[in-house]
């Protein structure tokens, strides 16, 4: 049984380094300064103006009302790699704990004070995302609405099976 020569070892190390250094992950969306509109689109101030956040109807309920601005409803964002949302919290409402797997969120409170909106005032916030489609993962629905073994959830949250069953029953 022979050993590899020093030149073979060097070649293997170089190949391994090349493979490791060439592997990378990236957001698949194409980012550019400006994406021209589809043929036949009138390119004027209206193309670059969205009125989607004007005159928002607010449903009074337990959850925040979210109006999104993205490439699907505002084509001028095409290629910029961003999206936005207006969140309106009726008094006493909440925004469900969640994550955005494909983007970072920055939230600016523009009216009121947001601490689970305990006030009697409506709170408005503006969110910006570092992706055209940041995605949304609702934690209650993900944890309690997908049939994860009750023993796993009971041990993980250190609560009784009754609490897990109650939370799971409330998910759509």
The pLDDT of residue 21 is above 60: no
Which helix (DSSP H) or strand (DSSP E) does residue 88 occupy?
A: strand 83-89
The pLDDT of residue 171 is above 50: yes
Distance CA 65, CA 62 (A): 9
Average pLDDT over residues 119-144: 89
- What share of the chain has pLDDT > 90, as a percent? 24
What is the pLDDT confidence band of residue 1, given thresholds at 50, 70 and 90?
Answer: very low
Average pLDDT over residues 147-168: 90
The pLDDT of residue 22 is above 70: no
Distance CA 52, CA 33 (A): 23
Average pLDDT over residues 78-92: 90
What is the pLDDT confidence band of residue 158, given thresholds at 50, 70 and 90?
Answer: very high
Check: CB of residue 147 under 8 Å from CB of residue 153: no
What is the pLDDT confidence band of residue 101, given thresholds at 50, 70 and 90?
Answer: very high
- Count the Cβ atoms, other than its own, within 10 Å of residue 110: 11
Check: CB of residue 134 under 8 Å from CB of residue 103: yes
What is the pLDDT confidence band of residue 25, given thresholds at 50, 70 and 90?
Answer: very low
What is the pLDDT confidence band of residue 129, given thresholds at 50, 70 and 90?
Answer: very high
- Residue 169 CB partners (closer than 8 Å, separation 6+): none
């Amino acid at each position: 049984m022979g050993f590899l020569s020093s030149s073979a070892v060097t070649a293997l190390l170089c190949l391994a380094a090349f493979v490791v250094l060439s592997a990378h992950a990236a957001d698949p969306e194409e980012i550019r300064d400006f994406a021209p509109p589809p043929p036949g689109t009138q390119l004027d101030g209206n193309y670059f103006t969205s009125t989607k956040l004007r005159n928002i109807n607010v449903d009074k309920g337990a959850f925040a009302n979210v109006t999104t601005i993205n490439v699907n409803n505002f084509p001028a964002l095409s290629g910029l790699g961003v999206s936005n949302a207006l969140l309106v919290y009726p008094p006493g409402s909440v925004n469900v704990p969640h994550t955005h797997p494909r983007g970072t969120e920055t939230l600016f409170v523009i009216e009121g004070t947001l601490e689970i909106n305990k006030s009697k005032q409506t709170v408005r916030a503006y969110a910006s995302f570092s992706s055209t489609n940041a995605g949304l993962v609702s934690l209650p629905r993900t944890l309690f609405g997908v049939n994860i073994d009750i023993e796993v959830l009971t041990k993980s949250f250190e609560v009784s099976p009754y609490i897990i069953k109650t939370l799971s029953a409330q998910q759509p």
